[in-house]
Structure formats: structure tokens, C-alpha cells
Amino acid sequence: MRYTQELGKILNKTEIAKGTFDVTLHSPEIANIAVAGQFVNILCDGFTLRRPISLCGFDSKKGILRIVFEIRGKGTEWLSRLQVGDNMDIIGPLGHGFSLIDSSKKAVIVGGGVGTPPLLPVAQFYRENATVITGFRNASAAILQGDFEKAGAKTILCTDDGSAGIHGFTTQALEQYLNENECDIIYTCGPKVMMRSVARLAENHGITCQVSMEERMGCGVGACLCCVCPTKDGKGKHLTRVCVNGPVFSSTEVDWDA
Amino acid sequence: MRYTQELGKILNKTEIAKGTFDVTLHSPEIANIAVAGQFVNILCDGFTLRRPISLCGFDSKKGILRIVFEIRGKGTEWLSRLQVGDNMDIIGPLGHGFSLIDSSKKAVIVGGGVGTPPLLPVAQFYRENATVITGFRNASAAILQGDFEKAGAKTILCTDDGSAGIHGFTTQALEQYLNENECDIIYTCGPKVMMRSVARLAENHGITCQVSMEERMGCGVGACLCCVCPTKDGKGKHLTRVCVNGPVFSSTEVDWDA
Amino acid sequence: MPDMSVKICGISFKNPVIAASGTFGFGMEYSEFYPISRLGGISCKGTTLVERMGNPTPRIVETSCGILNSVGLQNPGVGRFLSSYLPRLKKQDIVVIANIAGNSVEDYCEMAERLKDSQVDMIELNISCPNVKQGGVNFGVLPESVAEVTAQVKKRSDKPLMVKLTPNVTSIGDIAKAAEGAGADALSLINTLTGMRIDIKSRRPVLRNNTGGLSGRAIFPVALRMVREVYKCVKIPVVGMGGISSWEDAAEMMIAGANAVQVGTANFHDPFACVKIIEGLGSYTDSLGLKSITELTGTLSEW
Amino acid sequence: MPDMSVKICGISFKNPVIAASGTFGFGMEYSEFYPISRLGGISCKGTTLVERMGNPTPRIVETSCGILNSVGLQNPGVGRFLSSYLPRLKKQDIVVIANIAGNSVEDYCEMAERLKDSQVDMIELNISCPNVKQGGVNFGVLPESVAEVTAQVKKRSDKPLMVKLTPNVTSIGDIAKAAEGAGADALSLINTLTGMRIDIKSRRPVLRNNTGGLSGRAIFPVALRMVREVYKCVKIPVVGMGGISSWEDAAEMMIAGANAVQVGTANFHDPFACVKIIEGLGSYTDSLGLKSITELTGTLSEW
Ligand SMILES: Cc1cc2nc3c(=O)[nH]c(=O)nc-3n(C[C@H](O)[C@H](O)[C@H](O)COP(=O)(O)OP(=O)(O)OC[C@H]3O[C@@H](n4cnc5c(N)ncnc54)[C@H](O)[C@@H]3O)c2cc1C
Ligand SMILES: Cc1cc2nc3c(=O)[nH]c(=O)nc-3n(C[C@H](O)[C@H](O)[C@H](O)COP(=O)(O)OP(=O)(O)OC[C@H]3O[C@@H](n4cnc5c(N)ncnc54)[C@H](O)[C@@H]3O)c2cc1C
Ligand SMILES: Cc1cc2nc3c(=O)[nH]c(=O)nc-3n(C[C@H](O)[C@H](O)[C@H](O)COP(=O)(O)O)c2cc1C
Ligand SMILES: Cc1cc2nc3c(=O)[nH]c(=O)nc-3n(C[C@H](O)[C@H](O)[C@H](O)COP(=O)(O)O)c2cc1C
Ligand code: FES
Ligand code: FES
């Protein structure tokens, strides 16, 4: 029994950017076995499908989970209306998380928008050996910079409009960074176009890269084959389930051209 | 524009019997024109159809409505979870209410279960000239006795199990009452079998009787023809809309044998 | 503000939102909420040659995101429709569509004759009715009977003729083509999907009629697919309906190919549904930079 | 506790709740929540002769009280089904139904041959598949092609044969009779209703396949009506599905005439849906004073 259904009581809820919420839940069973890069599938009242949200944190001792989500549609809007003390019906921990190799290696972490939250546990593993490059629409949309710094990581903030940090894309910052610094492994999560560019840069520099893919899900546990993403290996091309074989894939496994 | 849609803020809510709620709403537009026997149609989250609930009270000066409802299924259960301060989306005032003739006449009011609430405004009109015979499953299901007394009416309580008042049905109490007392008009609301008996007794005694019918509704405003009840008149038999031509009918109009 | 008017077989509607037959009576009821002249039009309750009592109650039951109804065409008959309901409705400055029903081709034809020279703007032929001649099978499920009734009514009528299709068929495209081929001026769809609910306490159907017609949000995806299918099959205008409850739904319908939409069950939920849909469609059309809402129709680009 | 077991064409199920094809993989996934041996059975993901990639994504979109899917029969092919999935599943002490699909009668027949002597308990023939020989029209919509594929598969198979009907037809009763006449041992229904959703920003269908199959609570009243219709037309057992999400729904299905039920989309909403339905059905049967749940089937008394 790898999966649990829990009613996670909301312990804390903060709107950390306009329409983006940072929520802490009491969910001891899931917190007990979760790893970085995994997600939970959350029931929203009035909807048939659960909404997948990555774990931004988990503490097996305290039995708590942390999630950070943005209002994207009606389901996340409903979620955002829950209050401290309310329960969230969640199943998890789902999916195949990030491989954390050796905390003495130099890791570069590239996050775009609400793709950033699942990368926090990765930064917390590599600590001062982590460089976190994140990109947001503008200064007020930027999230989790303090958390990354608290983890000991170096942060490079980019915004589309230049209202904070570097005016430009994470991929430009990454390219410059890789040209000037050592890097053993790259982790990325964010818009697909961004991740594809990150994957190319990693390949060009001969660096291992792990990407966290997103796809519309049905079951979230591998049973319905709704959430597939194009992959390739020695045997050919495949459509692989993001919810169980991912969401984290090796960047070379993903068939970016499909 | 006879009908209004209002978001009525809940001012007060009391569970007056197990699963039966007494709710006061701020709803000035509807309160302003409501008459006894009318109802409102209430939106319940997650449901397509509104739920019809009679007005148990209305005060045009204070702009408030009072409703009393019982949890019967999922819609009323949802309603029962609303709290003071929440809004109820209601349309009203709907339907054709009771005719209140002359408060110096002797009125007998017969209510069964949650058919009782719409009869309170009738008692408040006839005051000491009203005799209110109500029936409930048992003592703890009995509601509104204090309100009827406060209105000045004489009350006769019946329970199915004898745990309070008379052990027996309202119709038995009514029969006895009519044999011993004067009565100019009868008003009744409750289970159909009860109302049919009341109608027969009224007819036997040659007394005018007004009945408030219940039927499953679609629109609540007369547009869909879902809520019809069998009626008859000089021209023959009809299926008449409860929501606009009723819910109050003359007992002789209703075709009880259909 | 973009031009919201649409023209369907020569009839101008102020906007593309029409109240659906059977859910809006003859218009008087909802005019207690707002002036119904704000609507594009109204399709009146299905009317027959002679008055009908309809089915016994219960006639309605709720389902997940929908309702089943088995009203069974209770209506005052075409005579009283013409003498008492139509004149009141016509005072409202609104396009009036008469929805007509019958058990035989003759019924339909006589109805059409009766409506000649009346103030009715358009006829909607409700062919989801049992054909007594063909053993009670609906007119609407066989291309041949659809063609037959359409052609005959067309001959006897002077009004634009819109044929309303039932979704309870294998190929709605074939039915649509049959109606078009027989002279229909427009098509409307979908009518209700046949469904049932059972009371597990009494182990009886909830509806006294055993089965009923499913409408409301639940059926929207099916309606949308069928409207698209029909749009691709025919050249005449299509009026889309089935589960529309928001302006977004109405926009999807028009993008799929509808020239106008009808809104039914949503009125029960929110009496102002039609008005809100009109407003929402207006802003949406505007936001797309279109001058006329007609530019929306059929702009779907399929994968 | 009443006897919850049911027998369908000779196969004994512990209880009448079967996981529906395509929503439960090959059983391994949900066994991470509970031992799937608690279920009556599992209908495996639709399997074809050779591996299939299925359709491009997005393959799923939510609708009011339902979902549309366009997975397109992605599956590992019958070979890997037999060698790698079936043995693992069979360890779970559960009735295994193979759901088979094909583009031609030959495909279906070869599939049936391959399943001979396997540990599969029953075959479910998914006939909502395009018949390449007949210009892509589904096998499932014409009585003749249903009869043809049923009869041929029956000849080549040694397993009980359950034919799964599509609801996208004018008369499900005629299709059911065709399958029964051709030798089907049982029928299951309904498969999904074809539907569509449009993204009004991009004005493209949300699903990459343009259309998809509607499932979930929205379709329950239609499924119930069709199960009832089929139950009245045939003598072979009927397995009901379509939108069942609670034990009350399952009870309605059985009262309407189903010998067992399948539960699909509800698993996505609540991974314990099947277990809760089994428990609820048990208490309900008990509360009615029935000794066996089989006594529930078909006990509806129509008005
Ligand atoms: C593995 C995974 C992890 C995720 N982690 C996070 C996170 O940590 N924080 C966060 O803010 N968001 C995250 N998302 C995206 C989040 O799931 C969607 O924003 C959310 O499902 C949108 O639901 P909605 O009802 O608000 O939007 P709607 O658009 O109304 O949703 C309609 C349907 O589309 C699906 N859907 C819509 N957008 C997406 C999407 N981008 N990805 C998958 N399904 C989608 C919904 O689940 C739903 O079925 C993650 C997605 C995946 C697949
Ligand atoms: C004119 C009128 C006035 C009413 N006044 C009151 C009142 O003052 N207090 C009170 O407690 N109840 C009253 N009722 C009954 C009340 O409307 C129902 O109990 C309620 O609709 C049940 O909804 P539900 O979702 O809880 O039950 P469900 O059984 O889940 O409802 C399913 C559907 O059936 C309809 N329905 C179920 N029972 C009834 C019923 N008895 N009458 C009409 N529709 C029904 C519901 O509206 C809904 O559409 C009144 C009914 C009518 C017609
Ligand atoms: C209570 C009710 C009565 C209806 N009566 C008719 C009718 O008389 N004639 C007709 O063509 N359609 C009738 N319909 C079907 C609607 O016009 C419409 O086709 C269907 O309800 C789907 O649209 P909706 O989901 O917006 O309601 C009726 C629908 C309902 C709910
Ligand atoms: C994602 C998904 C995949 C499906 N795949 C299959 C399939 O491979 N074969 C099949 O016969 N039915 C398939 N179905 C249909 C279901 O088995 C079932 O008939 C339908 O979903 C209705 O039941 P439900 O509402 O309980 O889901 C699939 C349904 C879904 C939602
Ligand atoms: S969401 Fe069902 S397989 Fe991934
Ligand atoms: S509820 Fe629609 S006419 Fe009465």
C-alpha cells in the first residue's frame, strides 16, 4: 500500500503572491514517506477530478505537508477558499520524485512560476551547493526566494518585465551561469518551453538534467493512461504516464520534439 | 415585476427540533410584498433545482423573512449547514397565498409536521379567534407551539405516539372540535392524506377550507408545468400549477380522488 | 459594443439567446423578473392541435448536474395559444417561435395551417413525438419520417421552419441532412436525452411516467458534439442548446457552429440566466475584437 | 450479512461490483490503496492484438459532473497482457475480465484465440471500435455488425462472452437483441457517450482528438434507462455501468435489472469508491431483509 487517502487539516494558509497560496497540512501518513518531486491529488468540492499539486515540503516528524498553488481555474479557486481548520481530502504521495544524488555535488535548480515549489526540497538537500534560478512574470509574482535562501542556496531571480532581479528568462540566466560555473546536475520544473530549453542547454554542456513534467490527469495513480508524455529510449518512442513514471523524468528520456 | 431575486443574509438560525431549523433572513424586497402562504425558492450549492420553502413569517418594516425547514434530503441538508452571516440566494415571493377574510371570524388551522410553518401568519391574523390543531411524530418533533400561543391562538397539540398532547391524529381532534365548536373557516397544510381528511370534514360541516398543496417543482414560477395538481371546476378536470395557481387552493377545487 | 443581432432564415433576433421551449412557458412568468424583450427570442411551450393534460406527477426529478422531466406536452392547444397567449407575448417586442408537436403528419400540418397569418415569427417542429402511425416510434429517429414530416409541414406553412432534433439517435448528421433535404430552413438541437431514476425505498421509478428527458449541464458535452456534427453536415442555420448555463457554454456552442442558442433548464436555477449569458457573450465578442457576434459562429479549428 | 455473491454465465463473483475497463488499469495501481481481492472482479484496460500508443494529449477534460476521455486504447497488446499483466493480476484472487478491441472481425477473433486456455475468466467485447472494413463506422451501432462480430468471436472462444454496448445508438434494445441472438452470454452497458469541449480562448477542442467519451455521474440517468430497456429485451445477464458513484446508484442499477455493476470514473474521484459501494450495497440488501443480493435484480415495479 504505497498510497494513502488522508483528510489533511489545514494548519496554516498564506497568500504569498496575488492568487498564490502557501498551505500547510497535517497529513502524517503521507508526510511519513514523501520524497522531493512527488505530488498529492486533491479533491475539490463539486468536481469529478482531483487536482494534482506538488509537495513543496514535508516533515515526517511533525507529520506535515506544505503545498504552494496558484489559482488557475475553478478547482484551484475552490481550494483557495478553504480556511485554517478545514480539511483537504488528499491522496498521495504520488509519482516518481527527483533523484537526489550527493549533496556535495553542485546542483543548478531552474524553476518557472508555480513550477518552483517542488524544487524547494531539492535545494534543501543541496543547500550551499545549490544555485536556484527562478523566473516569474514580475516582482510581485516571485515566490519562495526567502525559503531558498534559508536553505543556504544561492538565488538568481529573473522577471519577464525586469521589475525584480534580472530582466529576462531563466534560460538566459542559466546559459550564462553554466558558461561561468561548475555544475554537476540540473533540476527543472516549469513551463514546457522553458524545460525544453533547459534540457537542451544541459545536453550541450553534458550535464545530467531531471525535469518534472505536467499533464492533465485522470486518476493520478497510473490506471487511466490519460496523463502520458512522449518519451524515447533504446527501444523506440513511447507514451509514458506522468503520474507514476514521472512527473520527474531524465531530460534525455523526454521526446521534446513529439 | 412581482418576483425578486435576493441574497438574504442569515440573521438568526436555531435548531428548533432535531433536524428542523428556524432561520431569519434579511430580505427586504421580498418581505415588503409577501403574504401568508407564499413561499421562496432557495438555491442550494451543487444542485440544479431550487428548493421551495414556505414563509413562516415576514416583516416588511424590518425587511426580514422567517423560514422553518426540515432536513429531508441533500438540498435541505446543505441549507442546514449555512451559518449566521451567510447568504441564501432566494427568489420570491412565489405563489398564491391564503385568503385572510375577517379577523373576527372563527378560524381553525390544521397543520401536520413541517406543513405547520406557513400557518403561523394565518394564526397571527386571526389571533384569539384562531384554534391551531397541529400534529407531529412525537413531543420532540413538535414546533412553533409557543409562537402560536404568542399570537393569541388556542393550540391543540397531537402526537402520533402520545408523547405530548393528544395521542392521535389532527383529523380526530378536528372532528371532535368541529362537533363541539363554531368555525367559519379552516386552513390546512401538511401531508396530503391529512389534508384530504380535513377537506372532507370541512365539506361535511359546510365550512370553507383552504389547503396548501405540495408538489415537486422545476421553475417555481409557473413556466415549466412540472408542479401540477389535479383540480376540478365547472368546466371539468384540470392539472393546475401549484407554484402560481397554488400552493393555496380552495379544498373543493382540488380533485382529491385523481 | 459589438453588434449582437443575428439573422436566422430571414428573422432578425436582437441577440442570439432564445429561451428554450417548455422551460419558459409563454413568456409571461419570467417577465415578472425582467422585461423579456431583452431576449433574442422565445420558443414557446410545445403546442398541439387540441389541449393536452400531460402526464401525471411527479413530473420532475433532479439528477447529477441535471434534471429529468416528463411533463408530456401539457398545453392549452393551438386555439388558446393564438387567441390568448400569443397576443400578450407579441406586446413584448420579442421574436416568437411556436414549438409544435403532434402524433401524425396530419397533426403537424394542421398546426402549421393554423399558424399561417398569425403573429408567430417562426415554427419549431418538435419531432421527438411518438408517431402513432408507426407504432409509437418517434418521428425524430428515422431520416425518412423526419423528411416526410418536414416536407409536408413546409408545404402547408408560410413561416420559416426550424426542425428540432432529438439526440437519441445513432447518427444525428443523417437526421439533420434528411431535414435539410426536405426543406427545413433551420435546425435546432438538442432535445432531451431519455433517462430514468429509481426510488430505492419504494423500488419504483421516481417519475410517474417511468422515464423522462434529461436536460441541464450534464448533457452539455453531448449537445456540443452533436451541434458540431450537424454544423459540418448542413448549410442551413443551426440553433444550439442542451445544458447551456453560462456565457462560456453559449460561446462554445457558437464556436462549434451555432448561429444562436437556446437556454432551458438554466432558467430554473437562475431566473436571470439568459440575461447574464447575453451580457457575457457581449463582452466576450468585444474582447475578441469582433464587430458582430455572427463572426463567432463555426470558428472552431479542429485538431 | 446477506450473501453478496453473484453468478454471471457460470462465473462466480464475490460481490456484484466490478472495476470498469480503462479506469482501473490491470489492477495493480489501486492495489496500492486496498487489496483488490475485495472487488467482485476487474475488467482490464481494453486490449488489442498489437500494442497501441493511443491518442495524443490532452486526453481528458472535466465537464459538469463528468469527464471526457480520448485515451484511444493505449495498451501493451495481448501478448504482454498475457505474459506480464495477467499473471500478476491472477495472484490477487479476483475474477478477471479481458476487455478486447479491434478494427476488424478478424482482429477480435484472433484476440479470442489468444485468450483461450489463459487464466482470463471472461471476455468483454468492446464493440465501440471503428470497423475499418465498414468505413470506420463503429461495430457497435448496427445490429448486423454486432451480431456478426459476436457470432464469430463466440465460435473461436472458450470463455464466457460479454458484449459491451455503446449508448450512441437509436435503439439499444435492438443492439442487445442482436448480440443475444448471435450467442452473447452476457451484456454490459453503457460505454461512454460521445461528447466535446471547446477552449474558448484558443477556439480549439480541448481534447487533441477533438471528441471524447463522456463518463461519470452526468450520464447515470441515461445508463439506468438503457440498462432497464435492455433488461426487458433479453434473457441473458446484464452488467450495468455508467456514472455509478454511490451504493445508491448501484442499487438503482440492480433494481433496474443489472446482475452486477461496473464502476469507472468514480474511482478517480474517490479511490475507495468500489469498496464503499460494496459495503453500502451489503447494508442495503440486509435492511431489505434479502438473503442474497441477487434478489434485488430487476425488482423495479414500473408505474
Ligand atoms: C504533477 C503536477 C504537479 C502540479 N503541481 C502544482 C503546484 O505545485 N502548484 C500549482 O499551482 N499547480 C500545480 N500543478 C498544476 C495544477 O494541477 C493545475 O493548475 C490545476 O489542476 C488547475 O485546476 P483548476 O480547476 O484550477 O483549473 P481548470 O482549468 O478549471 O481545470 C480543468 C481541468 O484541467 C486540469 N488542468 C488544468 N490545468 C492543468 C495543468 N496545468 N496541469 C494539469 N492539469 C491541469 C485540471 O486538473 C482539471 O481537470 C501541477 C500539475 C501536475 C500535473
Ligand atoms: C410550496 C412548497 C412549500 C414548502 N415549504 C416547506 C417548508 O416550509 N418547510 C419544509 O421543511 N419543507 C417545505 N417544503 C418541502 C421542501 O421543499 C422539500 O422538503 C425539499 O425540496 C426537499 O429537498 P431535498 O434536497 O432536501 O430533498 P431531496 O429528496 O434530495 O430532493 C430531491 C428533489 O425533490 C424535490 N422534493 C423532494 N421532496 C419534496 C417535497 N416534499 N415537495 C416538493 N419537492 C420535493 C426537491 O425540491 C428536489 O428537487 C415545501 C414544498 C413546497 C412545494
Ligand atoms: C420541463 C421541460 C419541458 C420541456 N418541454 C419541451 C417542449 O414542450 N418542446 C420541446 O421541443 N422541448 C421541450 N423541452 C426541451 C428543451 O426545450 C431543451 O431542448 C432541453 O431541455 C435541453 O436544453 P437545456 O439543457 O438548456 O434545458 C423541455 C425541457 C424541460 C426541462
Ligand atoms: C479513461 C477511460 C478509459 C476507458 N477505456 C475503456 C476501454 O479501454 N474499454 C472499454 O470498454 N471501456 C473503456 N472506458 C469506458 C468505461 O469502462 C465505462 O464504460 C464508462 O466510463 C462509463 O462508466 P463510468 O461512468 O462509471 O466511468 C473508459 C473510460 C474512461 C473514463
Ligand atoms: S492520471 Fe491516470 S494514468 Fe496518469
Ligand atoms: S414549478 Fe414550474 S410550473 Fe410550477
DSSP string, A2-18: --EEEEEEEEEEEEEET
Interface contact flag, B217 C60, Cβ < 8 Å: yes
Cβ neighbours of C301 in D, within 8 Å: 203-204
Report the distance separating Cα D300 and Cα A157, nearest Å.
Answer: 66
Q: Which residues of D3-20 are buried (b: 16+ CB within 10 A; e: fewer)?
A: ebebebeebebbbbbbbb
Interface contact flag, C196 D228, Cβ < 8 Å: yes
The yes-or-no verdict on residue A113 having pLDDT over 80 is: yes
Cβ neighbours of C60 in B, within 8 Å: 49, 216-218, 224, 226-227
> Could you tell me if the CB of D47 is within 6 A of ligand 4?
no
For residue D264, the model assigns a pLDDT of: 98
Report the distance separating Cα C259 and Cα B177, nearest Å.
Answer: 66
DSSP D15-43: SSEEEPTTSSTTSTTGGGTS-GGGSSEEE
DSSP B213-258: -----SSSSSSS--SEEEEEETTEEEEEETTTT-BEEETTTB-TT-
Q: Which residues of A115-138 are buried (b: 16+ CB within 10 A; e: fewer)?
A: bbbbbbbbbbbbeebbbbbbbbee
Do residues C199 and D227 make contact, with C-beta atoms less than 8 angstroms apart? Answer: no
Confidence of residue C188 (pLDDT cuts 50, 70, 90): very high
Cβ neighbours of A50 in D, within 8 Å: 268-269
Report the distance separating Cα B23 and Cα B55, nearest Å.
Answer: 10
DSSP C142-163: -HHHHHHHHHHHHHH--S-EEE
- A27-73 pLDDT per residue, tens: 999 999 999 999 999 999 999 999 999 999 999 999 999 999 999 99
User: Residue C213: helix, strand or coil by DSSP?
Assistant: strand
Q: How far is CA D117 from the centre of its chain?
A: 22
Q: How far is CA A174 from the centre of its chain?
A: 18
**How far B46 CA sits from the closest chain A CA (Å)?**
7
The yes-or-no verdict on residue C133 having pLDDT over 90 is: no
Interface contact flag, D303 C220, Cβ < 8 Å: no
Q: How far is the CA of A223 from the centre of ligand 1 (A)?
A: 18
Q: Which residues contact C111 (CB under 8 A, 6 or more apart)?
A: C47, C48, C49, C78, C100, C101, C102, C153
Same fold, B4-94 and B107-250: no
Q: How far is the CA of B158 from the centre of ligand 5 (A)?
A: 59
Cell 478491441 maps to which residue? D101
> Mean pLDDT, to the nearest integer, of B114-142?
97
Report the distance separating Cα D32 and Cα D49, nearest Å.
Answer: 28
For residue B1, the model assigns a pLDDT of: 79
The yes-or-no verdict on residue D105 having pLDDT over 90 is: yes
Q: Which residues contact C212 (CB under 8 A, 6 or more apart)?
A: C59, C60, C61, C68, C69, C70, C192, C194, C195, C196
Residue from the list B1, B49, B238 with its beta carbon closest to the beta carbon of C268: B49
Q: How far is CA D131 from the centre of its chain?
A: 19
Q: How many CA atoms lie within 13 A of B241 on its CB side?
A: 21
Q: Which residues contact A199 (CB under 8 A, 6 or more apart)?
A: A188, A209, A211, A251, A252, A254, A256
Report the distance separating Cα A196 and Cα A188, nearest Å.
Answer: 10
Q: Whose CA is nearest to atom 19 of ligand 4?
A: D191
> Mean pLDDT, to the nearest integer, of C22-45?
97
Q: How far is the CA of D259 from the centre of ligand 4 (A)?
A: 19
Q: What is the ipTM of this complex?
A: 0.96
Cβ neighbours of A86 in B, within 8 Å: none
Strands A51-54, A39-42: parallel, antiparallel or unpaired by DSSP? antiparallel
**How far A46 CA sits from the closest chain B CA (Å)?**
7
Report the distance separating Cα D269 and Cα D257, nearest Å.
Answer: 26
Interface contact flag, D251 C200, Cβ < 8 Å: yes
User: Residue D169: helix, strand or coil by DSSP?
Assistant: coil
Q: How far is the CA of B66 from the centre of ligand 1 (A)?
A: 43
* Beta pairing partners, B7: B89
**Residue of chain C whose Cα is closest to the Cα of B223:** C25
Of A241, A244, A237, A143, nearest in space to A190 by CA = A143
Strands C122-126, C161-164: parallel, antiparallel or unpaired by DSSP? parallel
The yes-or-no verdict on residue D136 having pLDDT over 80 is: no
Cell 423579456 maps to which residue? C36
Report in angstroms the alpha-carbon separations of A35 from A95, A143, A153.
10, 21, 19
Q: Which residues contact D35 (CB under 8 A, 6 or more apart)?
A: D92
Report in angstroms the alpha-carbon separations of A3 from B150, C223, D28, D258.
60, 38, 12, 32
The yes-or-no verdict on residue A153 having pLDDT over 80 is: yes
The yes-or-no verdict on residue C136 having pLDDT over 80 is: no
Give the position, in ligand 6's atom list, of the atom nearest the Cα of B227: 4
Sign, CA torsion C225/C227/C230/C232: negative
CATH code matching the domain that covers A107-250, chosen among 3.90.550.10, 3.40.50.80, 3.40.50.2300, 3.40.50.150: 3.40.50.80
Q: How many other CB atoms sit within 10 Å of the CB of residue C199?
A: 15
User: Residue A23: helix, strand or coil by DSSP?
Assistant: strand
The yes-or-no verdict on residue D132 having pLDDT over 90 is: no
Q: How many other CB atoms sit within 10 Å of the CB of residue D244?
A: 31
Catalytic residues of D: 129
Q: How far is the CA of C192 from the centre of ligand 3 (A)?
A: 6
CATH code matching the domain that covers C6-296, chosen among 1.10.3300.10, 3.40.47.10, 3.20.20.70, 3.40.50.720: 3.20.20.70
Q: Which residues contact B49 (CB under 8 A, 6 or more apart)?
A: B75, B217, B218, C60, C62, C67, C268, C269
Domain boundaries, chain C: 6-296
The one catalytic residue in C44, C129, C233, C274 is C129
The yes-or-no verdict on residue D128 having pLDDT over 90 is: no
Confidence of residue A211 (pLDDT cuts 50, 70, 90): very high
> Mean pLDDT, to the nearest integer, of B15-29?
97
Domain boundaries, chain B: 4-94, 107-250
The yes-or-no verdict on residue C132 having pLDDT over 80 is: no
Phi, psi of B17, deg, nearest 5:
-155, 165
Interface contact flag, B50 C33, Cβ < 8 Å: no
CATH fold label, A4-94: Elongation Factor Tu (Ef-tu); domain 3 (2.40.30)
Across chain B, mean pLDDT equals 96
- C50-70 pLDDT per residue, tens: 999 999 999 999 999 999 999
Q: Which residues of D63-94 are buried (b: 16+ CB within 10 A; e: fewer)?
A: bbbbbbbbbbbbbbebeebbeebbeebeebeb
DSSP D58-114: P-EEEETTEEEE-----B-HHHHIIIIIHHHHHTT--EEEEEE--SSHHHHHHHHHH
Across chain D, mean pLDDT equals 96
Q: Which ligand is nearest to the CA of B49?
A: 2
For residue D83, the model assigns a pLDDT of: 96
Q: Which ligand is nearest to the CA of C188?
A: 3
Q: How far is the CA of C19 from the centre of ligand 3 (A)?
A: 10
Q: Chain B within 8 Å of A45 (Cβ-Cβ)?
A: yes
Q: Chain A within 8 Å of B45 (Cβ-Cβ)?
A: yes
Q: How many other CB atoms sit within 10 Å of the CB of residue C88?
A: 12
For residue D130, the model assigns a pLDDT of: 76
Cβ neighbours of D25 in A, within 8 Å: 222-225
User: Residue C271: helix, strand or coil by DSSP?
Assistant: coil
Residue from the list D168, D245, D256 with its beta carbon closest to the beta carbon of C198: D256
Cell 371546476 maps to which residue? B233
Nearest-5° Cα angle at B78, C32 to C69 = 55
Q: Which chains sit next to C, with 3 or more Cβ pairs under 8 A?
A: B, D
Q: How many CA atoms lie within 13 A of B64 on its CB side?
A: 12
Q: Which residues contact D51 (CB under 8 A, 6 or more apart)?
A: D75, D76, D77, D80
Q: How far is CA C242 from the centre of its chain?
A: 9
> Could you tell me if the CB of D70 is within 6 A of ligand 4?
no
**In this structure, what C-alpha cell is assigned to residue D60?**
481528458
The yes-or-no verdict on residue D133 having pLDDT over 90 is: no
Q: Which chains sit next to B, with 3 or more Cβ pairs under 8 A?
A: A, C
**In this structure, what C-alpha cell is assigned to residue C18?**
432564445
**How far D38 CA sits from the closest chain A CA (Å)?**
14
For residue C131, the model assigns a pLDDT of: 74
For residue C66, the model assigns a pLDDT of: 98
> Could you tell me if the CB of D126 is within 6 A of ligand 4?
yes
Report in angstroms the alpha-carbon separations of B214 from A39, B115, B156, D15.
50, 9, 24, 40
Q: Chain D within 8 Å of A5 (Cβ-Cβ)?
A: yes
The yes-or-no verdict on residue C179 having pLDDT over 80 is: yes
